[in-house]
Chains A and B, each alone.
Chain A
Amino acid sequence: MSAKLVLSGVRKRFGDNEVCKGIDLAVQEGQMVCLIGASGSGKSTLLRCINLLEPVDDGTILLDGRDIAEPGLDPQPVRARIGMVFQSYNLFPHMTAAENVMLAPRRVHGRSRSDLQAPVTALFERFNLGDRMGHYPDQLSGGQQQRVAIIRALAMQPEIMLFDEITSALDPELVGEVLDVLRSLRAEGMTMILATHEMAFAQEVADKVCFLDKGRILEEGPPETIFGAPREARTAAFLSRVL
């Protein structure tokens, strides 16, 4: 079985601070992988490296067997295949929700507005935002903004979706509506990597959970093992602090 995404020995350093110290990770097609770990353990940086927002210092990242971490490679076509959603939504504030979603398909895939109208409307309706397409980001709640950000990434029809602590900035009562979107994508078979602090959610939906500690994947396995019977003392210590 060939994996969709394989990281081997990925290293990333910011100045004196090595944030990823040689990370190996394989993600199968349709799998949902959850990255857990304390703040600063390297979860976000790892996701940003996969999306080539941060150039990797060393190591390889194979997407369908092709190394995308190769220095000098044009990152744009790769990013167009990988969707990313950020903790702080990062919607474009000067555009309506629908314009936010249509911008990249229009510019990158060269599709016309009229062409996109139907599929984009369908996406908004699927996530119960059909009546919010003409709204500007500041007219939407945090949960709605984050769902628009997910729709924006989905509209590029990505092969993999990366989620960087997407519920961390939300009020507690809005977290549920965003996690429901992830459940729905999971049911559809989307390949996903999720950095999260929502342990209960990770336990519920993940195929694989990776515990990151100081820039390394210290332990990985099915959620039952990681949450039920962690092998490493540090994993157990982390879980006892957050659960």
Chain B
Amino acid sequence: MSGSETTAGGLSRRAAYEARQRKRAMRVAAGSTAAVVLALVLLVPLAPGWEKVQRSFFNREVFAKTFPGLLEAFLTNIYIFAWCAPLIAVLGLVIALCRDVRAPALYPLRLFGAIYTDVFRGLPVILVIYLVGFGIPGLGLPRPWNSPYIWGSLALILVYAAYVAEIIRSGIDSIHSSQRAAAASLGLNEKDAMRFVVLPQAIRNVAPANMNMFIALQKDVALLSFIGPVEIFRQAGVYKSLMANFTPYVGAALIFLAVTIPATRYADYLMQKQRRART
């Protein structure tokens, strides 16, 4: 290695040094990871209850039998997510704008926005799902208006819109006042300044934060199982009772991860891209 600085494919001394360092770091990382994995594989099965756990959580036969059914049930999660997400985005934006109105005549809107976000951010999601999901059909509404799908979804929409509204509002606050001043100096009214200058920038700035909200929503759809809809979590519970085995829950967990991990990575990628664009 030594003395090769001038000949190593035109690498500068610094670049050659850094390449050596990188190789070394990679070797160390690979070695320590292998050691940890090896230890887990060797040590965990030595635990006294391992065989029981393996039988009831990692049962290959049960997994193969239930996985297709779980995938099918997961479609229900996707449907519920798919109609909730756009409604949450719209309602969240409306609430955020409500909280930003300045006209005295519209003060009730502002008050409503503030109370709304306080209430729905202050309640556990599951509680809202119970109250809305059991309470409203309890009014004795006719079919199909007594469906737990509708009211369960509404509960999710109400709660998540409160969070999304706060995120959008923080985005609006993050836009420097000089942008509003520039818009005003051109003669734009406040509505146009908000619509064309502030909001587009605000929404772009908080897109990654909103992505994270929607990933959380994807998981919380499972909570609707408590009021009736047979989605993946409920389906896994059914299989568990039928087969007296917990493996379906592991299957469900894998399906959730298959969706949420790529989505989380994508949100991180978006955030990084944004940070790069700003510098």
Write the residues of chain A forming the contact surface with B, with a CB cutoff of 8 angstroms: 48, 51, 53, 75-77, 79-84, 86, 88, 90-94, 103-104, 107-108, 138, 149, 152-153, 156
Contact = CB atoms under 8 A, between A and B. Distances in A.
B192 A107 contact: yes
Given A81-B187, A103-B196, 12 more contacts: A51-B185, A76-B187, A79-B184, A80-B186, A82-B185, A86-B178, A86-B185, A92-B183, A92-B196, A92-B201, A108-B188, A138-B277
A83 B184 CA distance: 10
Nearest to B182: A90
B39 to A, nearest CB: 50
B186 A156 contact: yes
Interface string B164-182: 0000000000000011011
Contact of B186 (A88, A93, A153): A153
B182 A76 contact: no
Contact of B187 (A48, A90, A156): A156
Interface string B58-92: 00000000000000000000000000000000000
Contacts of B200: 94
A76 B181 contact: no
Contact of B178 (A75, A88, A153, A156): A88
A92 B188 contact: no
Nearest to A138: B277
Contacts of A149: 182
Interface residues of B, number: 18
A90 B183 CA distance: 9
Given A94-B201, A94-B204, A108 B179 contact: no
Contact of A84 (B185, B189, B196): B185
A53 B188 contact: no
A21 to B, nearest CB: 23
A103 B188 contact: yes
17 contacts: A53-B184, A76-B184, A76-B187, A81-B187, A84-B185, A86-B182, A86-B185, A90-B181, A90-B182, A92-B179, A92-B182, A94-B200, A94-B201, A104-B186, A107-B188, A153-B186, A156-B187
Main secondary structure of the interface of B (DSSP, over half): helix
Interface of B: 178-179, 181-189, 192, 196-197, 200-201, 204, 277
B147 to A, nearest CB: 41
A79 B186 contact: yes
A108 B187 contact: yes
Q: Which of A48, A86, A90, A152 has the most chain B CB within a 10 Å cutoff? A: A90
B189 to A, nearest CB: 5
B218 to A, nearest CB: 29
Contacts of A77: 187
Contacts of B188: 76, 103-104, 107-108
B190 to A, nearest CB: 9
Contacts of A92: 179, 182-183, 196-197, 201
A104 B181 contact: no
A90 B179 contact: yes
B186 A152 contact: yes
A83 B204 CA distance: 29
B187 A80 contact: yes
Contacts of B178: 86, 88, 90
A107 B194 CA distance: 13
